[in-house]
Amino acid sequence: MRLMDMGLDQLNSLLVEMAQLSQSAVSASMEAYRRGGKGKEVKQMSDRLRALHRQVSDLSVEMIARYQPVASDLRFLKACMEISYGFFRYGRYALDIAEVLQVFGDLSKCDHESVVTTAQKTQEMIRMSVDAFARRDVELARKIPSLDDAVDSSYRDNVKSTLQGKGDVRCALSSMLILRYLERIADHATYIGEMVEYISTGVEPDASPGN
């Protein structure tokens, strides 16, 4: 086995751990929202994802410098750094959601339907992005954007409703913040899908989703 292959296997293992942990972080934050909890365990998950992201970035840069890879190996290394960042952002936004719960307190009397429905779509996008990476499944990756439109629409509708002064202010503001974080998670899921396609085809995405 090439030394390069050993490094690639290590990167893949780190990303698999990140994938599982990022899914757990988002699930924990939304479960806390549904049940009126605080999601305190999300902070530990987010910190671990940050540390793993640094490991992936450092190892990828080291491998590029040491082995000067080309073609598919180089594409994979570049994609690993981008996908790792996406998984890290899943955890960061999950923490942001948990912090909303801590700031706003008990939201049990708020209407949860819009947020919960949007969260289900977002979590499905996360699952699809993780599965697409694990299996290098380009066809699955290409299905992710179809759900992104629904998440974007839910966020825009909530913003309009909030600006019109409909409903309880605390409920409206907390929902708007959480939907915004879910919308950003969805953007990263879409981008991860695009990076899966890049690994297989070499076609780079037009732009990254930012922070």
Q: Where are the domains of the chain?
A: 3-201
Q: Which of 135-144, 146-155, 158-167 has the lowest mean pLDDT?
A: 158-167
The domain made up of 3-201 has a fold known as: Methane Monooxygenase Hydroxylase; Chain G, domain 1 (1.20.58)
pLDDT higher than 80, residue 167: no
CB-facing half-sphere around the CA of 159: CA atoms within 13 A: 10
Q: Do the beta carbons of residue 70 and residue 15 sit within 8 Å?
A: no
Q: Do the beta carbons of residue 14 and residue 84 sit within 8 Å?
A: yes
Q: Do the beta carbons of residue 189 and residue 126 sit within 8 Å?
A: yes
Say what the pTM is. Answer: 0.93
Distances (CA, A) of 83 to 60, 122, 158, 162, 163: 12, 17, 29, 34, 35
Question: What is the phi/psi pair of residue 210, to 5°?
Answer: 75, -150
Query: What is the length of the chain?
Result: 211
pLDDT of residue 3: 80
Q: What is the mean pLDDT of residues 57-78?
A: 93
